[in-house]
Amino acid sequence: MRIGVLCSGGDSPGMNAAIRGAVLRGVDVHGFDMVGFMDGWRGFHEGEWIPLDRSTVRGLSPLGGVMLGTSRARPFVHGDGDESDMRVIRERMAEYGLDGFLLIGGNGTQTVAKMLNDAGIRAIGLPKTIDNDLGGTDYTFGFDTAVSIACEAVDRLRTTGESHRRCMVLEVMGRNAGWIALHAGMAGGAQVTLIPEHPESIEQICEWVLSVRNRGRSSLVVVAEGFKPTGFDDEVTREGLDGFGRPRLGGIAEVLAPLIESRTGIETRATVLGHVQRGGSPTAFDRVLATRTGLAAADAVKEGLWGTMMALRGDSIEFVSLEEAVSRLKTVPADRYEQARLNFG
């Protein structure tokens, strides 16, 4: 059995640990031959791959980034995944002697895994994304690390903000889901947390900031990059498109800060945390989750459970269908936001 491992989407702390887990179990226990394609689908289509064995994954678990590289390169060379695209993939698989894929990625990657599987190309999904927006699983590895980094940023901005009696606005990632903002805001005691799922008006935001000032404190506002204030038609985006041709989200903190300052008279500063929250060593939680995900993926191959994704359910790693994983974006439910909102202002 020859298995190809490939990563796509943004990197996420824990990807190395997941590869290590899959290889230790897949090669040493189940006797598979495993190869890794460099930079996602680019390496697959351009024939750039490395063998994966015990020695290539040694010491990987604490390392951030991903040793294979990742990209948003398109899997399909002709169109949107029609039969001619699938034929190209089958031909290359035959050339490499591949029996199936382990695809490490977020909702986009798992959508591709499902498309391949529906076309009879064997694929198993390993969920990773700092955004935590994948269905079917409680948490994705990388999220806990991103939240820890964002929480540290909240703590640091709070001390400088309080010293200058300023309102500090921190923008975090998450695309169209507010999980990183919700958790970092709750952990850091933010006075306002703004997420895409629950729009708020500029008037309401300023009212919270003023009420904090009236209590003699300075506000810490956490905003998710995909947040749109009431009345805004679109998310704020940066120039250019991402590798998949979507507008790059980001910049809402820099839009909000001057609006808050002009309406409240409180000096306000914006910080965009950006890719810092994806970098560096994974937390212990993410290392363990990623390792268990990798181990489970190798077992799924052994058991022929193609078309599944390794999901965290409670404390167990379970095999869920790719259909369930990608059928909806996992966004922040209203009750979770309401819990946080009680403490605003």
Ligand X SMILES: Nc1ncnc2c1ncn2[C@@H]1O[C@H](COP(=O)(O)OP(=O)(O)OP(=O)(O)O)[C@@H](O)[C@H]1O
Ligand Y SMILES: O=P(O)(O)OC[C@H]1O[C@](O)(CO)[C@@H](O)[C@@H]1O
Where residue 176 falls (left for φ over 0; alpha for ψ -120 to 50; beta otherwise) is: alpha
Close Cβ partners of 172 (under 8 Å, ≥ 6 residues apart): 146, 150, 180, 181, 184, 222, 223, 224, 225, 273, 277
Do residues 82 and 116 touch, judged by C-beta distance below 8 A?
no
Binding partner of residue 74 among ligand X, ligand Y, Mg ion, none, CB cut-off 5 to 8 Å per kind: ligand X
Are 339 and 182 in contact by the 8 Å Cβ rule? The answer is: no
| 173 has binding-site annotation | yes
Residues 40-79 as x/- pattern, contact with ligand X by CB under 6 A: --------------------------------xxxxx---
Quick one: what does residue 328 bind among ligand Y, Mg ion, ligand X, none, with the CB cut-off 5 to 8 Å set by partner type? none
Chain center to CA of 32: 29
Confirm whether 131 is a catalytic residue: yes
Question: Is 10 labelled as part of a ligand binding site?
Answer: yes
Cβ atoms of 319 and 308 closer than 8 Å: yes
How many residues touch Mg ion under the rule CB under 5 A: the total is 3
Residue 173 lies near ligand Y (rule: CB under 6 A): yes
- Residue 8 touching ligand X (CB under 6 A): yes
- 204: Cα within 13 Å, side-chain hemisphere: 12
The catalytic residue among 11, 39, 85, 131 is: 131
Q: Tell me how far apart the alpha carbons of residues 15 and 107 are, in angstroms, rounded to a whole number.
A: 15
Q: Is 130 in the site for ligand Y (CB under 6 A)?
A: yes
**Which positions from 165 through 194 interact with ligand X, judged by CB under 6 A?**
none
Nearest-CA neighbor of 266 among 154, 165, 345? 165
Size of site (CB under 6 A) for ligand Y: 14
Q: How far apart are CA 340 and CA 191, in angstroms?
A: 9
104-143 residues near Mg ion, rule: CB under 5 A: 106-108
Q: Does 109 bind ligand X (CB under 6 A)?
A: yes
- Alpha-carbon span 221 to 201, nearest angstrom: 14
Of 116 and 212, the one with the shorter C-beta distance to ligand X is 116
Partner whose binding site includes residue 145, from ligand Y, Mg ion, ligand X, none (CB under 5 to 8 Å by kind): none
Q: What end-to-end distance do the CA atoms of the chain give, in Å?
A: 58
Classify strands 167-172 and 220-224 as parallel, antiparallel or unpaired.
parallel
Q: Is 10 in the site for ligand X (CB under 6 A)?
A: yes
Q: Where are the extended beta strands (E) located within 182-315?
A: 192-194, 220-224, 237-241, 247-249, 268-272, 308-313
- Choosing from 112, 173, 253, 322, the residue that interacts with ligand X (CB under 6 A) is 112
Which positions ≥6 away from 52 have C-beta within 8 Å?
5, 19, 23, 27, 34, 35, 36
Q: Which of Mg ion, ligand Y, ligand X, none is residue 173 near (CB under 5 to 8 Å by kind)?
A: ligand Y
User: Out of 39, 85, 131, 197, which residue is the one contacting ligand Y (CB under 6 A)?
Assistant: 131
Question: Containing H/E element for 140?
Answer: none
Name residues contacting ligand Y, limited to 213-232 (CB under 6 A).
Answer: 225
Residues that bind ligand X in the complex, under the rule CB under 6 A: 8-10, 12, 72-76, 80-81, 105-109, 111-112, 129, 131, 243-244
Residues that bind Mg ion in the complex, under the rule CB under 5 A: 106-108
Residues that bind ligand Y in the complex, under the rule CB under 6 A: 9-10, 106, 129-131, 173-175, 225, 242, 248-249, 278
Binding site residues for substrate, as ranges? Answer: 129-131, 166, 173-175, 225, 269, 275-278
The catalytic residue positions are: 131
Binding site residues, as ranges? Answer: 10, 72-73, 106-109, 129-131, 166, 173-175, 225, 269, 275-278
Binding site residues for ATP, as ranges? Answer: 10, 72-73, 106-109
